[in-house]
C-alpha cells in the first residue's frame, strides 16, 4: 500500500489562549482528491499553513511527501502548488507577469498554449495591473499559476472564494483533470457541493480535531437516508422498527427517515407487501455535515457553554485559527 502524501498525528497548535489545533489526525492518500471540511475557527487554514512550513506545530507530527514541512520547506515547495482563499499579489505587475513570476518561483516553465487556454477558460485579462483586479480575478491568477505547474500535490484553501458559479465550474473541471492524471489534491472548502462533486474522501474537523474521516460512502453509512414508499404495507409495522424516524402517511404513500444500518430490516418488512413505488435517497454531503456537526455539538454542549471556551466563537478575531 502506498504511503500517504499527507499524514498528521496528534497535531497541536495554540495562539495565546486559543487552541487552534487539538490533536488533529489527517491522512491524504496518493492520487485522490480529499475534502477538508469545517467552519471558520475549526483549524483548517492553520493545518494547511503547518503543512506548508509557514507555521510550526507545538506538538505532534506532520509529514508531506515524506518530508518534514518545517525542516524541508524549500524542497517541499518545489513539489507542490498552493492557492489560498485570499490572494495577495504584487500591485504593479500585470496579471500575466504575476502568473509568470509564480511559475518561475516554482521552477516551472509554463506551456504557452496551456497558459493561453487557462486564461481563456477563466476569462482573465493578463494585461491589467493586479491592483485593479477584483478578489475573484486575484484568485484566478493564483489558480492559473497553480494549474500551470506539474506538481505532485495541490493544496487548495477555499480556492473559489470570490468566483462566480461559471468560474467555479471551470475549477471543478480542472481538478477532475488533475485527479485523472493521478495527482493528489487537498481541498478545503465551505462549498459542500464542490467537495461532493470532486472528493473521494473527506475529513471533517471541529475545534481543531477531526470528528469524522472516510470515503463519502463510509460516512453516509453512519447516518440516515430518506425513503418514499407507495405500498399497501401497514405504516405501524414500519413505525415500530428500530432506526425508523419521522414517519408520515399520505393515503398509500409513506415517507420516513431510516438509519442506514437499519435499511435491511425495512426491506424485510416490505417483502410481503405490494410495493408500487420506492425511492431511497442517501444524504447529501451538506446533510451529512450538518448532522455530524449537530451531534458533536450536542455531545460537547456542557463543555462549550461559555463563548470564551472555543476560539471559533466570539472574542478572538484574527487569531489565526481560521
Nearest-CA neighbor of 187 among 208, 210, 163, 158?
A: 158
Asked if residue 213 and residue 234 are part of one domain, the reply reads no
* b/e burial code for range 154-172 (CB count within 10 A of at least 16 → b): bbbbbbbbbbeeebbebbb
Q: Do residues 167 and 272 share a domain?
A: no
Indicate whether 185 belongs to any domain. Answer: yes
Q: List the one residue out of 232, 219, 221 whose CA is nearest residue 289.
A: 219
181 shares its domain with 209: yes
Q: Is residue 183 part of a domain?
A: yes
Tell whether 156 and 277 lie within a shared domain.
Answer: no
The C-alpha atoms of residue 312 and residue 15 are separated, in whole angstroms, by 12
Q: Residue 202 to residues 32, 169, 253: CA-CA distances in angstroms?
A: 11, 20, 35
Which residues have C-beta within 8 Å of that of residue 183, sequence separation ≥ 6? 31, 151, 152, 153, 154
Residues 75, 159, single domain; the answer is yes
Domain-embedded: residue 235: yes
Q: Give residue-wise pLDDT tens across range 19-59.
A: 999 999 999 999 999 999 887 788 999 999 999 999 999 99
pLDDT in tens, 82-114: 999 999 999 999 999 999 999 887 766 668 999
Domain that holds residue 264: 224-281
- 269 within 8 A of 233, measured Cβ to Cβ: yes
**Distance, CA of 45 to chain centre:** 11
Kindly state whether residue 122 falls inside one of the protein's structural domains: no
CATH of the domain at 275: 3.30.70
Q: Given 174, 199, 219, which residue is the final one in a domain?
A: 219
Given 178, 196, 219, the domain boundary residue is: 219
Same domain assignment for residues 19 and 72? yes
In a domain, 63, yes or no: yes
Q: Note whether 215 and 231 are same-domain residues.
A: no
Say what the pLDDT of residue 310 is.
Answer: 42
In a domain, 273, yes or no: yes
* Residues in the chain where the model's pLDDT stays below 70: 1, 107-110, 220-222, 292-322
What is the count of structural domains for the chain?
A: 2
Q: Are 207 and 270 in the same domain?
A: no
Amino acid at each position: 500500500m502506498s504511503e500517504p502524501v499527507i499524514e498528521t498525528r496528534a497535531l497541536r497548535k495554540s495562539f495565546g489562549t486559543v487552541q487552534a489545533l487539538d490533536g488533529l489526525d489527517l491522512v491524504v492518500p496518493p492520487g485522490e482528491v480529499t475534502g477538508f471540511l469545517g467552519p471558520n475557527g475549526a483549524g483548517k487554514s492553520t493545518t494547511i499553513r503547518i503543512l506548508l512550513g509557514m507555521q510550526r506545530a507545538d506538538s505532534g507530527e506532520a509529514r508531506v511527501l515524506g518530508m518534514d514541512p518545517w525542516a524541508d520547506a524549500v524542497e517541499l515547495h518545489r513539489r507542490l502548488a498552493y492557492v489560498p482563499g485570499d490572494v495577495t499579489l504584487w500591485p504593479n505587475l500585470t496579471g500575466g507577469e504575476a502568473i509568470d513570476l509564480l511559475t518561475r518561483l516554482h521552477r516551472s516553465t509554463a506551456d504557452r498554449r496551456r497558459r493561453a487556454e487557462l486564461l481563456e477558460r477563466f476569462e482573465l485579462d493578463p494585461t491589467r495591473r493586479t491592483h485593479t483586479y477584483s478578489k475573484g480575478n486575484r484568485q484566478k491568477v493564483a489558480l492559473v499559476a497553480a494549474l500551470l505547474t506539474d506538481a505532485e500535490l495541490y493544496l487548495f484553501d477555499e480556492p473559489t472564494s470570490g468566483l462566480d458559479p461559471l468560474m467555479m465550474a471551470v475549477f471543478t473541471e480542472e481538478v477532475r483533470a488533475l485527479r485523472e492524471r493521478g495527482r493528489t489534491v487537498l481541498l478545503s472548502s465551505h462549498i459542500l457541493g464542490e467537495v461532493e462533486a470532486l472528493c473521494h474522501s473527506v475529513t471533517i474537523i471541529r475545534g481543531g480535531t477531526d470528528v469524522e474521516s472516510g470515503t463519502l460512502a463510509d460516512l453516509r453509512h453512519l447516518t440516515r437516508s430518506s425513503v418514499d414508499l407507495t405500498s399497501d404495507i401497514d405504516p405501524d409495522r414500519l413505525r415500530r422498527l428500530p432506526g425508523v424516524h419521522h414517519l408520515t402517511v399520505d393515503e398509500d404513500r409513506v415517507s420516513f427517515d431510516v438509519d442506514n444500518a437499519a435499511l435491511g430490516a425495512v426491506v424485510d418488512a416490505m417483502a410481503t407487501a405490494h410495493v408500487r413505488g420506492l425511492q431511497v435517497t442517501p444524504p447529501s454531503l451538506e446533510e451529512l455535515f450538518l448532522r455530524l456537526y449537530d451531534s458533536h455539538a450536542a455531545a460537547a454542549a456542557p463543555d462549550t457553554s461559555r463563548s470564551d471556551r472555543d476560539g471559533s466563537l466570539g472574542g478572538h478575531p484574527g487569531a489565526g485559527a481560521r
